[in-house]
């Protein structure tokens, strides 16, 4: 790295992806599971693109933080988790909400701030939540949800339900105090929780490697809490699924928490207000070649899935996105009599009654 790269990010060395692990084509994963993951990849990608289009039409209320290019992490975990497990995500939580089964229409309507949204239009893009699907919230405060995930895991442990809490977070969270506090407590109490760092190489606009003392911000810190260092390809659904299955099984059997670092890359900027010009062009191009959807498409072809089957899945998802868009646009804005409700625990908007 050039000596002044800490002050001029354009001079930093590009972070290139590793090659596709071709051996994973032979992994012991049921074909139906793989086809389900391909469908989910398409769903997350097409949803993200539609959200972007609606934002440009000035229909999305506020900004959005998309997961375009990062869909494999949510997909792999979504396929491995039980329906009654818990998901905790960041404001970049669309993919995780959909991976847990949130309906496309209400999810998209929530981004538009409509009353037919999953939260009545009052949560917006950064707070997608559907407890009925185990999606326990998207949190805008960096790192706050890791400790909340511990609470859910402790509840499952006390009740003996074998449920697991999974908390997803970005690489920047690893430099937040709550990250270290949550890991320590989870290990001390052997909580059934899985912490998943989606390392997309940038904490908002800043490269994670120029402000972090270790190369792998999550995996290299695992040993400090008596945890295994796990670094996986976050762009490979099979790698994510197999790693997730193992971690979830450990948690259910009482073996305690797991910390996973999934290396991935967002194809756009931090949010819709960010053009992402700080990233080296050769880095962007290299990661575009490791886009999880075409890579997984080729893998499925290599194991004998017909092209017609994959094309059919893509068309079905496209049709579902159109239906969801019409549903979202049909909703009205929340009425005045409900807009200021459900703010505090008593259901009202006044902090003192």
Residue showing tokens 């006390």: 158
Compute the C-alpha angle 129/135/141, nearest 5°. 60
**What pLDDT band is residue 100 in, cutting at 50, 70 and 90?**
very high
Tell me the helices (H) and strands (E) count for the chain, helix number first. Answer: 11, 8
**What pLDDT band is residue 9 in, cutting at 50, 70 and 90?**
low
pLDDT at 352: 66
pLDDT at 302: 98
Residue 178, φ and ψ in degrees, nearest 5: -60, -30
What's the mean pLDDT in 42-59? 97
**What pLDDT band is residue 11 in, cutting at 50, 70 and 90?**
low
What's the mean pLDDT in 309-337? 97
Q: Give me 314's structure tokens.
A: 């893509």
pLDDT at 348: 82
Look at residue 146 and tell me whether its pLDDT is greater than 90.
yes
Look at residue 267 and tell me whether its pLDDT is greater than 70.
yes
pLDDT above 70 covers a percentage of the chain that reads 96
**Cβ contact 262:194 at 8 Å:** no
Average pLDDT of every residue of the chain? 94
3-state DSSP assignment of residue 294: helix
What is the rounded CA–CA span in Å between residue 47 and residue 66? 10
What's the mean pLDDT in 97-120? 97
**What pLDDT band is residue 50 in, cutting at 50, 70 and 90?**
very high
Q: What is the DSSP letter of 290?
A: T
**Cβ contact 105:328 at 8 Å:** yes
Nearest residue to 184 (alpha-carbon basis) of 229, 157, 214, 224: 224
Nearest residue to 74 (alpha-carbon basis) of 222, 220, 262, 252: 262
Beta-ladder partners of 207:
202
Q: In Å, how far are 95, 195, 239, 329 from 148, measured between CA atoms?
A: 20, 12, 27, 34
Polymer length in residues for the chain: 353
What is the rounded CA–CA span in Å between residue 17 and residue 284? 10
**Treating both helix axes as pointing N-terminal to C-terminal, what angle do 292-302 and 31-56 enclose, rounded to 10 degrees?**
150
Residue showing tokens 């929340």: 334
Residues 178-191 have pLDDT tens digits of 999 999 999 999 99
What's the mean pLDDT in 84-89? 98
Element containing residue 98 per DSSP (H, E): helix 94-99
pLDDT at 10: 61
Q: Under CATH, what is the fold of the domain 51-290?
A: Rossmann fold (3.40.50)
Residues 324-353 have pLDDT tens digits of 999 999 999 999 888 888 888 888 878 765
What's the mean pLDDT in 206-235? 97
pLDDT at 337: 87
Higher per-residue pLDDT: 137 or 9: 137
Annotated domain spans of the chain: 51-290, 296-322
Nearest residue to 243 (alpha-carbon basis) of 253, 256, 258: 258
**Cβ contact 243:234 at 8 Å:** no
Beta-ladder partners of 116:
none
Going 18 to 22 to 24 to 25, the CA torsion angle's sign is positive
Beta-carbon count within 10 A of 180 CB: 16
Question: Which segments within the chain are labelled E, that is strand?
Answer: 86-90, 135-139, 165-170, 193-199, 202-203, 206-207, 231-233, 258-263
pLDDT at 5: 47
**What pLDDT band is residue 2 in, cutting at 50, 70 and 90?**
very low
Look at residue 88 and tell me whether its pLDDT is greater than 50.
yes
Nearest residue to 206 (alpha-carbon basis) of 116, 274, 110: 274
What's the mean pLDDT in 209-224? 96
Q: What is the DSSP letter of 123?
A: S
**What pLDDT band is residue 311 in, cutting at 50, 70 and 90?**
very high
**Cβ contact 231:258 at 8 Å:** no
pLDDT at 257: 98
pLDDT at 62: 86
Beta-ladder partners of 194:
166, 258
């Amino acid at each position: 790295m050039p000596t002044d790269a800490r002050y001029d990010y354009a001079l930093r060395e590009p972070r290139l992806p590793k090659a596709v692990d071709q051996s994973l084509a032979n992994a012991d994963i049921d074909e139906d599971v793989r086809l389900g993951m391909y469908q989910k990849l398409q769903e997350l990608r097409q949803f993200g693109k539609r959200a972007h289009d609606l934002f440009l039409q000035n229909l999305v209320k506020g900004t959005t933080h998309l997961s375009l290019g990062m869909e494999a992490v949510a997909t792999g975990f979504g396929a491995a988790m039980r329906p009654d497990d818990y998901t905790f995500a960041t404001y970049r939580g669309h993919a995780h909400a959909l991976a847990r089964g949130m309906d496309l229409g209400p999810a998209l309507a929530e981004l538009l701030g409509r009353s037919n949204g999953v939260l009545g239009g009052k949560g917006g893009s950064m707070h997608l939540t559907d407890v009925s699907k185990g999606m326990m919230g998207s949190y805008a405060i960096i790192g706050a949800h890791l400790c909340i995930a511990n609470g859910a895991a402790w509840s499952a442990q006390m009740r003996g339900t074998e449920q697991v809490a999974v908390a997803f977070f970005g690489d920047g969270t690893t430099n937040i105090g709550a990250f270290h506090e949550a890991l320590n407590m989870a290990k001390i109490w052997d909580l059934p929780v899985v912490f998943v760092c989606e390392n997309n190489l940038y904490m908002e606009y800043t490269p994670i490697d120029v402000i972090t003392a270790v190369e792998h911000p999550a995996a290299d810190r695992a040993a400090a809490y008596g945890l295994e260092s796990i670094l996986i390809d976050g762009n490979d659904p099979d790698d994510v699924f197999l790693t997730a299955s193992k971690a979830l099984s450990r948690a259910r059997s009482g073996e305690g928490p797991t910390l996973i670092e999934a290396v991935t890359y967002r194809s756009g900027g931090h949010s819709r207000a960010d053009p992402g010009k700080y990233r080296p062009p050769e880095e962007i191009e290299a990661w575009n070649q490791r886009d999880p959807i075409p890579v997984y498409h080729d893998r499925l072809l290599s194991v004998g899935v017909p092209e017609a089957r994959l094309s059919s899945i893509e068309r079905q998802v496209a049709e579902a996105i159109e239906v969801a868009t019409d549903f979202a646009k049909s909703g009205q804005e929340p009425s005045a009599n409900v807009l200021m409700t459900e703010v505090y625990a008593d259901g009202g908007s006044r902090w003192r009654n």
